Structure formats: C-alpha cells, structure tokens
Amino acid sequence: MRTETKNFTIRPATIVDVPIILQLIRDLATYERAPSEVAATEEQLVDVLFGERPVAEVLLAFEDEMPIGFAVFFHNFSTWLGRPGLYLEDLFVKPEARGKGYGRALLIHLAKIARDRGCGRMEWAVLDWNGPAIQFYRKLGAKPMDEWTVFRLTTDGIAKLAQS
C-alpha cells in the first residue's frame, strides 16, 4: 500500500532504507530528549526488520525526495477480542515538516493497514510531557488508557527473571 500526493509519499520501507530509518530513529531520540540512548545499529535493523523473522514494519514518509518521517509498528494480540491489534511503536515527523498533515496521513495509512488485516484495535504510548501529540491524538478520536500502567523489563531484568 502506498499513499502519494504531489509532493508527499508514504511507502513501506525496504532493506535499502535502513540508513534512513536509523537516522529518523536518532532524530526522534533527539526530539524526545534522549539522543544518547539510541543503541540500534544498521546491522541490527536489517536483521529485525528484514531478516528471517521480521518483528516490526516501517512506513517512510517523504516530502519530494527527502525523508521527513516514519511509523514503526507491529502486531500484538487481544485475547478478549480474539484478534490481532496494531501497535504503533513510533510515529515521528521532523519538526520542520510538521503542520502539513503528514502525521495524520501516516495514521490514516496505518488505520487502513489495521482495517485490511482485521485488527481489532490500534494502540500506542505517548510521553506525558508531549502535550501537542496528546492533543493531536485526541482530535483523531483516540482515548488515553488512564487505568493502565505500562511495565517494562530491560535486558538485565529479562536475564535475571529468566535465570530465576
């Protein structure tokens, strides 16, 4: 599936796009005030996105020929619905390209993928300090899941639990 207007294109990433994906990840980390926390490498991204068992998919957004944003997503599963869901890990449009409807276009594209794949829901997390994003998502009809708390184990915590 491909979305295209005169100067704007959304398309699925391919293996040759890995350097673009990594740069957008770094741009996102800078925006989220954590530029030094990116540990991903091109080699890792090739493996996890395009290897034998891909774990996520990427949509790239271009204005003319310049990459200006991306969406990284994967499928989760709802036991209650008995259907897959689409989990949006990251949505990012470069600050200089905002206000043109590109973020909305990426979400519409994702909604079409979710619909076409029989997903029962789309979910994502947003940093609580990111007021513009929260307002944007609310305008689209998304609702915060205030009664849920996200828990996380990192690599060390996973190893410790696995060895217990």
Catalytic: 137? Answer: yes
How is residue 45 written in tokens?
Answer: 């991204």
Distance CA 91, CA 100 (A): 15
31, 87, 102, 137: the active-site residue: 137
What residue type is assigned to position 34 of the chain? Answer: A
Stated as kind and residue range, the H or E segment containing 57 is strand 57-63
Q: Of 39, 62, 40, which Cα lies nearest the Cα of 49?
A: 40
Active site (catalytic) residues: 137
